Structure 1
Amino acid sequence: MGVKDFYQKHYKKLFWIPILLIVLSLLFLGVKYASTGEIIKRDVSLKGGISANLITKEKINADELKIFLSSRLKTDVEVRTLVDFATREQSGLIIETSSLDSDGLKEALKEKINYSDEDFSIEEVGPSLGEAFFKQMITAMFIAFLLMIIVVFITFRTFAPSLAIVLAAFGDIVITLAILSMFGFELSITSIAGFLLVVGYSIDTDVLLTTRVLKRKGEGSVMDRVFGSFKTGITMVSTTLIALLVAYFVSTSIVLKSIFLIIIVALIVDLFTTWFMNTAILIRYCNKKGII
């Protein structure tokens, strides 16, 4: 039995896989919010605190420094290493803490690392400002998603296919958010770029699929058009994933890595929401409307 025959026989069962993932993701995020007060960890840019950059050639163990600073400052501390792109050697550190005691952080660091003031920079974000940034980020996501819904419904002018695209995009965001939250990903101001790209890119294959199935009725049967779209869509996603994976492992920028990671996870999730859920809804719609 080929892939096409298998899918044609079992697409109604496969439909429930992304539905189950969406439900489990919503449950996980709900439990996470009830227990911690947030659905995903936020860095200092969104909750307030200190972000310090330290340029040093010393080889520092980030985990040991994190434990030391946490005990000295009596608060949670995150330590990440900076790597030189050319030599791949450690070139500095980024230290983030919810504490606003910058003097205490400097004193603690000097006990472990020799550095000059020129090699050290610090940014402080107040809790109220961080919360304001977070609310603005949520608003931007909501507006982007709403505009996407409007464009989809105007383009196709049919309820079920348009709803299928919107549901797939919603699933991409919710499942991606749950996966990232599960593995301790920290949301930052720059992460909004990744999620905004997800909103746009997640509907690419859905629009391709819906357009070919509904508007190219002379190109074989519904299942033929579905698998024609599948070949094109898989090629698009595969090439994008390869490029993003290379960029993720080559890049030394934490900002770029976080954006790449969000899109990589969302693209993998989109394979399930598009080809298991959206496609099943389209096939049922075509059968109901007598579209051949």
Structure 2
Amino acid sequence: MLRIFHNTTFDFIRWWRWAAGLTAAFIAIGLASFAVNPGLNRSIEFTGGTLMQLQFAQPPRAADVRGALESAGVTGAEIQQFGSSREYTVRVQDQRQVALQAAGAEGVARTIRAALERRFAPGSFTVVRTEAVGPRVGEELTRGAIIAILVSSLITLIYLAFRFEWRFGLAAVLSSAHDVLVTLAFIKLMHLEISLTVVAGILTLLGYSLNDTIIIFDRVREDLRKGRSEPLQATLNRAINETLPRSVLTHVTTFLATLALLIFAGEVIRPFAWVMSFGIFVATFSSIYVAGPLLLWIEHKWPRGNSASNRAARPPQSREPRARQGSAAANALPTTR
């Protein structure tokens, strides 16, 4: 049987400052990008609007498509090539056009189709898919996505507080919050469209990251129960090294699956594949270099008195000096004959 990274003794926690600087710099770059291009690239599922994917018989010019729409009164449309040179997406998210969705979700789509048929003749293109979302639905989906992320974090914190204790749960949830921030910075820098599929990818990333962190924390708890007289940092390093073979095999196989989606699944699912591929790396990074140092900081900030972890963190007290003192005192006593 092939054994990878067996019986390793890497000092992972030693490099936590470098890791913290790296992740802070990446998040800062992502936040700085908002100054250049404010806002996230939200899909019509959150902003409301109309999306049409078109496949033409002959490759058209984007300017011709835009001109046809503007002649029909559809202004502010975003026209992008989608895959091949014959496929385009038309996204209408102008506030005036979005307001029309409240009167009829398919009204704008019919207007776009009629305008293109006048310009390119009927039968010269095929409507592959149409998505039309009203403004009220977009607001509800936005609110629901935020609530889903917050509720999942709260439930995780409660579960870990009962499963381990609140210090472990707090470290795991803060580590997951780091994963979300880094992933949002990645989405911003890559200009990925945030759709319900991407939100599902973020929630999947949260579960994946927490699973890896829980496995390491569970090993930490087992090692603490063994009563080893060692600092908590050494216990964390041992737990990470003991779970390293399992982590490497799991992450590599999962990454290969998401890589296949990224390459072969097509444009619709590609943002989800990007988020998952990047998320696997972030989850691995945070479970080692974020969750562990956070647990150390929490233990230092709120010590647990005579708990197992603090006993392990204290240096052992040898009984040999007491024995020597006792024997010396016995020799000092006068002897009677």
Fold conserved between structures, TM > 0.5: yes
Cα 1:166–1:118 shift into 2, 3 Å: same
Correspondent of 1:233 among 233, 244, 247: 247
1:58 has 2:58 as partner: yes
Map of 2:164 onto structure 1: 156
Structure 1 position 141, deviation (Å): 1.7
Pairing partner for 1:242 from 235, 248, 256: 256
Tell me, which stretches of 5 or more residues in structure 1 are unaligned?
83-88
Identity, in percent, stands at 16
| Structure 1 residues 91 and 67: CA distance shift in structure 2, 3 A | closer
TM-score (norm 2): 0.68
Mapped partners of 2:118, 2:227: distance in 1: 72
Equivalent residue runs for 1:144-183 within 5 Å: 144-159=152-167, 161-183=168-190
Q: How far does the alpha carbon of each residue in 1:72-94 deviate from its partner, in whole angstroms, 9 at most, with x for none? A: 64314143425xxxxxx777443
Computed over aligned residues only, the root mean square deviation of the Cα atoms, in angstroms, reads 3.6
Cα–Cα, structure 1 residues 44 and 263, in superposed 2: closer, same or farther, change >3 Å? same
Greater Rg by CA: 2
Q: Distance in 1 between matches of 2:139 and 2:175?
A: 29
Matched length: 276
Contact 1:28 1:178 in 2 (8 A): no
Return the letter of the residue paired with 1:150: I
Checking the alignment, whether the CA contact within 8 Å between 1:57 and 1:91 is kept in structure 2 is yes
Deviation at 1:158, TM superposition (A): 4.1
Q: Aligned with 1:58: secondary structure? A: coil
Report the secondary structure of 1:146's partner residue: helix
Per mean C-alpha deviation after superposition, the further-off stretch among 106-115 and 191-200 is 106-115
Specify the code of the residue in structure 2 equivalent to 1:170. Answer: A
Equivalent residue runs for 1:1-292 within 5 Å: 4=9, 7=12, 10-14=14-18, 16-17=20-21, 20-21=24-25, 24=28, 27-28=31-32, 31=34, 36=38, 38=39, 40-60=40-60, 73-81=74-82, 92-99=87-94, 100=97, 101-102=108-109, 104-110=111-117, 113-116=120-123, 119-120=126-127, 122-159=130-167, 161-217=168-224, 218=226, 222=235, 223-252=237-266, 254=268, 256-282=269-295, 285=299, 289-291=310-312
The 8 Å contact of residues 237 and 267 in structure 1, kept in 2 or not, is answered as yes
Contact kept in structure 2, 1:149 and 1:166, CA below 8 Å: yes
CA contact (8 A) 2:43 2:194 kept: yes
CA contact (8 A) 1:44 1:130 kept: yes
Relative to 1, partners in 2 of residues 1:23 and 1:264: Cα closer, same or farther, differing over 3 Å? Answer: closer
Normalised TM-score (structure 1) = 0.77
Structure 2 unaligned spans of 5+: 1-7, 98-107, 229-233, 301-307, 314-337
Evaluate the alpha carbon distance shift between residue 244 and residue 5 of structure 1 in structure 2; reply closer, same or farther with a 3 A threshold: closer
Q: Give, as a single letter, the amino acid of the residue that structure 2 aligns with 1:134.
A: T
- Say if 1:41 and 1:185, in contact at 8 Å, map to a contact too: yes
Partner of 1:86: none
Q: Within 1, Cα distance between the matches of 2:159 and 2:26? A: 23
